[in-house]
Chains A and B, each alone.
Chain A
Amino acid sequence: MGIVMMLVGLGMLICAIIVLIKLFQNEGVLKGILGLICGLYTFIWGWMNANKLGIRNIMIIWTLLLIVYIILGMTGPGFSYSVGTPVTTP
């Protein structure tokens, strides 16, 4: 499971890098850095410009990988998020 998740993560990273390069080229350095920090912005920008920049297939792959990653994360061991101060157990 761990290797599959790592591969999916790697695929997501490759898609993100391709879209990030397009973001830097089309929107400038600052928005590129913003996209580097906030992957969600890169993802949204990529979908909004997918047809114009010809990256529709990349965005479809990225979205599918994201969905697979989330499903794997949900079904895999250790899926538990908690917000707040951690509770220590004796």
Chain B
Amino acid sequence: MLTQRLSQPIVAGMLRNRRLALAVFGLGGLNLALFVLHLPTWQCPVLQATGVPCPGCGLTRAIALLFKGEWRASMTMHAFAPVFLIGLLLVGAAALLPDRQRPALVSNIERLENKTALPVLLLAALFLYWLARLLFFPSTFFQLIRG
């Protein structure tokens, strides 16, 4: 039961819903653009209320650094930036592709998710990465995230 629940495709489900994909791609892209333009961006509620960075904190900055070609700084900020960038591009493709080509993309992603359980593994790795930063490098982590 639990294994079945954990292996359910999550990315394909998001890609299948064009409105959701458009909103995620649009707001994700807008957030990135606002950040690059030094304007106020999305605020993480966990960080703002508790002062503790969540596992996703720093991703916007890390992706912006990727676009600037600063790979080392990006990896220091958040090692999962390339993964999330690929995810965002996939969501963008699903949002913007014509109706004839979308089902093929979605079914390929669904097949990949079912075969490899990749999103589950990535989420688990992301959680462990966050835990390791929090436990072993807390001062560096907090300093990086708070800028």
Q: How many residues of B contact A (CB 8 A)?
A: 41
Interface centre among B24, B36, B49 (most CB of A within 10 A): B49
Contact digits for B98-121, partner A, Cβ 8 Å, 1 yes 0 no: 000000000000000000000110
- Chain B contact residues: over half helix, strand or loop, or mixed? helix
Known contacts A12-B49, A30-B120; is-contact A40 B31 (Cβ 8 Å): yes
Q: How many residues of A contact B (CB 8 A)?
A: 39
Contact digits for A11-41, partner B, Cβ 8 Å, 1 yes 0 no: 0110110000000000111110110111111
A12 touches B20 (CB 8 A): no
A31 touches B10 (CB 8 A): yes
CB closest chain-A residue, reference B124: A33
For B43, list chain A residues within 8 Å (CB). 9, 12, 66, 69-70, 73
CB closest chain-B residue, reference A69: B43
B27 touches A33 (CB 8 A): no
Name A's B-contacting residues (CB within 8 A): 5-6, 8-10, 12-13, 15-16, 27-31, 33-34, 36-41, 43-45, 47-48, 66, 69-70, 73-74, 79-85
10 interchain residue pairs of minimum CB distance: A9-B48, A13-B49, A37-B56, A16-B45, A70-B40, A12-B45, A9-B49, A13-B45, A30-B10, A44-B23
